[in-house]
Each structure stands twice: as structure tokens, then as C-alpha cells.
């Protein structure tokens, strides 16, 4: 399965942090397509299914063989009234008017972790319904941090069976941490992992074990969170790092990296997006975009010539700053 070096990350069009209009989301997806991006990542978690619905609406009229859709399993979306009735002890609770997990959407559904074999199959069926497609190309076990053993014992075998039956294409796992992904790489026969925020200019911890293991076993790596949720795109006070306000010391580190990039005439965000691709295990970088301008900017910067000397300068700058 071929993926493009730039992939479209679908969290933002699921209204992550702020609302995006249907027209704005469609324009962002269309701009990605026009710029040559053919790999699109989404998940039920993103906007309680909104991201999947928007991607499906924008892509289903395109030639199906020309693009790759990646979605995830591990969270089922239950209607809010069903969730109210299912609370133990006969208690009832009323969901908030808006989602409480960072997406600007109505809380008409609630997420329920389910890494069982049945949950995996139900999750894929629901995703296909939201996407309006007859298949997905990549399915990832999503954030099994607190459910690792069940994910390995139940979710993975279910996906392996579905892959053998050609119900799904490539299979893998996607997380914000490297150690458990390393277990998936070394203990299973997955095809791909998505590592978010752990192979960036500010945190390259995935290089310790995950990336070498992936390279050794022929597992492809998709790199997400390359801006660490914002700081490496705009290193200013108040910027976010891993979805929290970045501490001043981290902002200073990012600003020094930006200054080093400027000496080579390269924007920091261009270097941040390109850095993961310097490792041979990484096949694609996910860029989350909520507007056509954002994704067009990423595509333009992908063509920028980045001298090899810049990587040495960035490593030296960061080492000196922390030393």
C-alpha cells in the first residue's frame, strides 16, 4: 500500500478546539487533494464522528483506488441517552451540551473504550457507515494506553483475522507513547504504527527503541504531532505543547531552534514537518489542517530545499540550550 509523504490529519476538521464550517473542512480536504496528498487519517474520536463524515463526503466521489483512508478502533460512540441508561446503580447523568474532550461539537454521543474483538468489528462497521465507503485501507488500534493487554490479546487478533479475510487492508496501532507501540511492533505482525509527538525536534524518544524495531521488522511508521500540538509551528508565549500550555523553558528551546532555522532561510515549521522523514522507518508525516491555507502552506514548504547542515545545526543548538 502506497502512502504519500504528506498525509492529511483529520482531527482539526473534527472541530478540535474550535468549530470549522462544513465548507471550510471541504476546502481543506480539496486543497490537500489538489496538492497531491492521497493519504487521509481520521478516527471516531475526532469530533464524535464528524471528521469521518466530512472526509467521506469529500472523498467518496473521487476514484477509490487513488487514495488511502486510515481510521481507528478502540472507541465506540454510543448515543448519549443510551449512555445515561447504562450507568451502574440505576443512576442517571445528563451529558454536557458540548463535548468535553477538546472538540467543539454537541455531546450527542459519548465515547466508550472497547478493545474486544466484537468492539473492533462494530467500530469498523460504524466507521464505514460514517465514511460512506465499502472499505478502509488502514485500521489502527487507537490509544490503548490503559487497555494494552486487551488490545494485544483481543483487538489485534481480530484485526489480523479481518486482514486475512481482506475486510481491511493494513493494520497497526496509533499512540502518543513509544514503549507500548514497540511492543506491538515486536510481539505482533502489524504493518504500520502511528506515533504522535514522540519523534519531533523537541522529543525524539521514539528513536530509542520504536523506530529501530520498526525498521528491523519492516513496519512502516506514520509520524503525527510533528508540531507538538503547536509550539513548533509558532514558538511564542502561550503556545501549546502536547495539548497544554508550554512552559517558558520549552518555549525558549523552540525559539532557539527557530533562530537556527532562520540562519538557513528555513521556517521552523518546515523543518519540524520534514524532520521525521529523515529517519528511514518513517514513510509519511501527518499534517493536521483546518483550512485550505494551512494545508497549502504545508505542501508548499514540503518542496523547500532544506540543507543537510541544518539538521546538524539544530541538534547542536538544542544540545547547547539544554546543557
Give me the active site residues, please. Answer: 46
C-alpha cell at position 107: 455531546
Residue 80 grid cell: 448519549
Contact indicator for 199, 316 with CB cutoff of 8 Å: no
DSSP per-residue codes, 90-150: G------SB-SSSB-SB-SEEEEE--SHHHHHHHHHHHHHHHT-S--SEEEEE--GGGHHH
Beta strand 192-196 pairing with 109-113:
unpaired
Q: Which residues contact 261 (CB under 8 A, 6 or more apart)?
A: 267, 268, 270, 271, 310, 314
Amino acid at each position: 500500500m502506497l502512502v504519500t509523504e504528506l498525509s492529511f490529519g483529520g482531527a482539526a476538521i473534527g472541530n478540535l478546539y474550535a468549530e470549522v464550517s462544513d465548507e471550510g473542512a471541504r476546502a481543506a480536504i480539496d486543497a490537500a487533494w489538489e496538492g497531491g496528498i492521497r493519504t487521509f487519517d481520521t478516527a471516531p474520536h475526532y469530533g464524535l464522528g464528524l471528521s469521518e463524515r466530512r472526509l467521506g463526503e469529500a472523498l467518496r466521489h473521487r476514484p477509490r483506488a487513488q487514495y488511502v483512508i486510515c481510521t481507528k478502533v478502540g472507541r465506540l460512540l454510543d448515543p448519549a441517552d443510551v449512555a445515561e441508561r447504562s450507568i451502574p446503580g440505576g443512576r442517571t447523568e445528563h451529558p454536557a451540551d458540548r463535548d468535553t474532550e477538546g472538540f467543539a461539537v454537541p455531546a450527542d454521543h459519548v465515547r466508550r473504550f472497547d478493545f474486544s474483538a466484537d468492539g473492533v468489528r462494530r467500530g469498523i462497521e460504524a466507521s464505514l457507515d460514517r465514511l460512506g465507503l465499502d472499505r478502509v485501507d488502514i485500521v489502527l488500534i487507537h490509544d490503548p494506553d490503559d487497555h494494552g493487554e486487551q488490545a494485544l490479546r483481543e483487538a489485534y487478533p481480530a484485526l489480523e483475522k479481518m486482514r486475512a479475510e481482506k475486510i481491511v487492508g493494513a493494520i497497526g496501532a496509533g499512540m502518543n507513547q513509544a514503549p507500548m507501540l514497540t511492543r506491538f511492533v515486536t510481539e505482533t505482525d502489524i504493518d504500520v504504527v502511528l506515533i504522535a509527538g514522540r519523534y519531533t525536534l523537541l522529543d525524539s524518544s521514539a528513536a530509542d527503541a520504536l523506530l529501530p524495531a520498526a525498521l528491523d521488522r519492516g513496519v512502516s511508521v506514520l509520524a503525527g504531532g510533528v508540531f507538538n500540538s503547536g509550539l513548533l509551528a509558532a514558538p511564542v508565549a502561550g503556545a501549546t505543547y502536547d495539548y497544554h500550555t508550554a512552559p517558558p523553558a520549552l518555549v525558549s528551546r523552540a525559539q532557539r531552534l527557530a533562530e537556527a532555522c532562520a540562519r538557513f532561510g528555513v521556517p521552523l515549521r518546515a523543518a519540524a514537518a520534514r524532520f521525521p522523514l529523515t529517519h528511514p522507518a518513517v514513510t509519511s508525516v501527518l499534517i493536521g489542517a483546518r483550512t485550505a491555507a494551512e494545508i497549502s502552506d504545508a505542501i508548499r514548504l514540503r518542496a523547500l530545499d532544506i540543507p543537510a547542515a541544518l539538521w546538524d545545526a539544530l541538534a547542536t543548538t538544542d544540545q547547547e540550550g539544554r546543557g
